[in-house]
């Protein structure tokens, strides 16, 4: 029977493990176990047919000890307060592990955006900012795109904030179009960070990327870009899945052709030259590298014993349950934890904010170079912590982040 933990319970369990290793001050631990501030709002939206629907929205600010809260806003029918709190919690430590001057934030609205017209979606987006205008700002709390939100929604939110404040604060939100202060390299940043982490892990395990086989669960933006980048480095991507199923080819999939096929058909299923397999079967393929790039809690104590990969690179947030983590560790599988592995996205969001504040914008090559350097340094710090304390990379990543945030909390006199 798989363990039943909410996302927030998972996050707290991971923190407590690191706290024991660090002998963390109890006051600091108490400060970090729950968000500093959580806001719940009700957003009335006039629908196209003249009726009014009221939506529930959330914003969680886990910590601002080091800097303003930072994190995405998701529009999804399953958004809950617990999920938003957990995601803001993970963002604090994601920013901490890569050394960004941010704390963790996260937001969401419980809605199925596919049921809304473009004009209804715009009214909802603007309504969310109106309800939370006192919370947001480039020096307070900086939203970004997340599940089912995009650059257009960020543009509406930016504009609504400008209407309320009577000036345009480009740095109050990231993930914007380039013309509105977005950063080059942002769309590929999460996947590029995942790949840099994989390359660092492969090097330390004395493997060669050109000899590695890869399975990727999830073929959205992060999964598809990671697939193309790894294939360009000589890795053999043998299995890929999406929400409708999975495909496998022992000789490797043509990732570019697969991307075009999915755009044309809506799924990877049935891709010529491959055979269809169950999505759950993908996780258990005999590959060198497994990349969960979709949902939370997909690797559990039921399937963890059957995972054969040498490296699990968490492109998704929270894909591995704590009990499964223990199983993978005992099997000698190296897990690159989500707060390190997928931090490329928030790192380039930080670069976007810096560019907004300076009013000076970098080339895509500069952005990618800075991202690579930041990811390499962060992986090295976590690897060193894991070696010094003889622990897994997840615990080590939390230790690096918690040590940093905890120092700020104590210096500020909060505990």
What CA–CA distance (Å, rounded) separates 193 from 280? 25
CA 231 from centroid of its chain's CA atoms: 22
What CA–CA distance (Å, rounded) separates 55 from 57? 6
Task: Please tell me the number of Cα atoms within 13 Å of 134 on its side-chain side.
Answer: 4
List alpha helices for 77-180, DSSP H: 81-97, 118-132, 151-165
Place of tokens 């806001």: 39
What CA–CA distance (Å, rounded) separates 57 from 44? 11
Which residues on neighbouring strands pair with residue 245, listed in sequence order?
A: 242
Which residues on neighbouring strands pair with residue 110, listed in sequence order?
A: 76
Residue 77's nearest CA partner among 53, 28, 105, 113 is 113
Strands 103-110 and 73-76: parallel
What CA–CA distance (Å, rounded) separates 349 from 200? 22
Give the full edge-to-edge strand order of the sheet including 236-242.
275-277, 245-248, 236-242, 213-217, 289-292, 311-313, 334-336
- Helix, strand, coil percentages (3-state) for the chain, rounded to 5, are 50, 15, 35
Of 70, 106, 262, 374, catalytic: 106
What CA–CA distance (Å, rounded) separates 30 from 14? 14
Task: Verify whether residue 256 is a known catalytic residue.
Answer: no
What CA–CA distance (Å, rounded) separates 163 from 167? 7
324: left (phi over 0), alpha (psi -120 to 50) or beta: alpha
Catalytic (active-site) positions: 106
């Amino acid at each position: 029977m798989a363990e039943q933990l909410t996302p927030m319970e998972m996050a707290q369990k991971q923190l407590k493990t690191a706290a024991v290793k660090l002998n963390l001050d109890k006051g600091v631990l108490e400060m970090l176990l729950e968000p500093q501030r959580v806001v719940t709002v009700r957003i009335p939206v006039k629908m196209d047919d003249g009726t009014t629907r009221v939506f529930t929205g959330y914003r969680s600010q886990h910590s601002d000890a080091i800097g303003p809260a930072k994190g995405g806003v998701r529009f999804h029918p399953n958004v809950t307060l617990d999920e938003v709190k957990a995601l803001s919690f993970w963002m604090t430590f994601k920013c901490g592990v890569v050394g960004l001057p941010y704390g963790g934030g996260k937001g969401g609205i419980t809605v199925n955006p596919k049921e809304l017209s473009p004009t209804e979606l715009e009214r909802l987006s603007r309504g969310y900012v109106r309800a939370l205008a006192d919370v947001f700002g480039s020096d307070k709390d900086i939203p970004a795109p997340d599940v089912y939100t995009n650059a257009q929604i960020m543009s509406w939110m930016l504009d609504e904030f400008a209407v309320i404040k009577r000036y345009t604060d480009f740095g109050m939100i990231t993930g914007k179009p380039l013309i509105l202060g977005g950063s080059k390299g942002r769309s590929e940043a999460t996947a590029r960070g995942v790949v840099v982490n994989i390359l660092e892990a492969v090097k330390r395990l004395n493997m060669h990327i050109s000899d590695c086989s890869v399975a990727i669960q999830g073929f959205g933006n992060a999964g598809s870009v990671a697939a193309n980048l790894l294939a360009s480095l000589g890795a053999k991507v043998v299995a890929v899945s999406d929400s409708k199923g999975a495909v496998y080819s022992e000789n490797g999939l043509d990732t570019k052709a697969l991307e075009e096929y999915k755009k044309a058909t809506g799924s990877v299923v049935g891709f010529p030259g491959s055979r269809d397999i169950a999505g759950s079967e993908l996780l258990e393929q005999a590959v060198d590298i497994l990349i969960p790039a979709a949902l939370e809690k997909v690797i559990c104590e039921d399937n963890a014993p059957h995972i054969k990969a040498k490296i699990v690179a968490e492109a998704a947030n929270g894909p591995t349950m704590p009990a499964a983590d223990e199983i993978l560790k005992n099997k000698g599988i190296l897990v690159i934890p989500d707060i390190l592995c997928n931090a490329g996205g928030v790192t380039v969001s930080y670069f976007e904010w810096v560019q907004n504040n300076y009013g000076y914008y970098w080339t895509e090559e500069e952005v990618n170079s800075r991202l690579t350097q930041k990811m390499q340094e962060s992986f090295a710090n976590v690897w060193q912590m894991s070696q010094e304390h003889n622990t897994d990379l997840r615990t080590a990543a939390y230790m690096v982040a918690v040590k940093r945030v905890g120092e700020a909390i104590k210096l500020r006199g909060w505990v």
